[in-house]
Amino acid sequence: MQFPELATPRLILNELSESDSQALLDIFSDENVIKFYDIDVYDSEKQSLELIKFFNQRFADKSGVRWAIRVKSTGKLIGTCGFNSINLKMKSAGIGYELSSKYWGVGYASEAVSKIIQFVFSNGQPLGELYRIQGDTMIGNTASDSVLKKLGFKEEGIRRSSGFWKNEFHDLKCFGLIKPEFKEI
């Protein structure tokens, strides 16, 4: 199965490659980026290479899909976005994304995530048809909350202590988007 390449006015969304390892290390070694993420700060390129292999294997196994987010004019990798878990029987998926802190505040996350949602809802995503997408955010991650709300996700509640990383439990806000409610931005 060929990896789907997507484009927006400012971005290219395509498959990650090993040549992206240093750019990914730059993103995941930034404490601001991983503050609300379920990983620790990266300190080696080996970690980013393993993440690239993990994301690409997930697509090969038809259990998820993660796009590189690149600035169209330069090709620079500035983040990733995609569907971390897909349940085809339930026609649902969990969404995730991160962006280099150097590119925060200019709408790139909303632009990229809107495109992948539009793609999966209109074409049937590369792994099967979806009807519901869920996004979970840690309490206090107002930027991510804003991205999801801007795209039409509805806040559905707090799942208490449903995440455990960095040696502590985390309450997560649950957001949901169903196909008839999505409006492309």
Q: Which domains does the chain have, with CATH numbers?
A: 6-181 (3.40.630.30)
| 3-state secondary structure string across the chain | CCCCCEECCCEEEECCCHHHHHHHHHHHCCHHHHCCCCCCCCCCHHHHHHHHHHHHHHHHCCCCEEEEEEECCCCCEEEEEEEEEEECCCCEEEEEEEECHHHCCCCHHHHHHHHHHHHHHHHCECCECCCEEEEEEECCCHHHHHHHHHCCCEEEEEEEEEEEECCEEEEEEEEEEEHHHCCCC
pTM score, whole prediction: 0.93
pLDDT tens digit string along 27-56? 999 999 988 887 888 999 999 999 999 999
- Rounded CA gap, 163 and 155, in Å? 17
Other beta carbons within 10 angstroms of residue 101's beta carbon come to 15
User: Sign of the CA dihedral 73, 74, 79, 84?
Assistant: positive
Lowest mean pLDDT among 92-106, 135-149, 158-172: 158-172
Q: Give the model's pLDDT for residue 35.
A: 85
Give the mean model confidence (pLDDT) for residues 60-73.
Answer: 94
Mean pLDDT over all residues of the chain?
A: 92
- Between helix 142-150 and helix 108-123 the angle, nearest 10°, is 40
Predicted pLDDT of residue 40: 83
- What number of other Cβ atoms are within 10 A of residue 36's Cβ? 18
What does the pLDDT read at residue 124?
A: 63
pLDDT in tens, 105-139: 999 999 999 999 999 988 766 667 899 999 999 89
Residue 185: band (very low, low, confident or very high) from pLDDT cuts 50, 70, 90: low
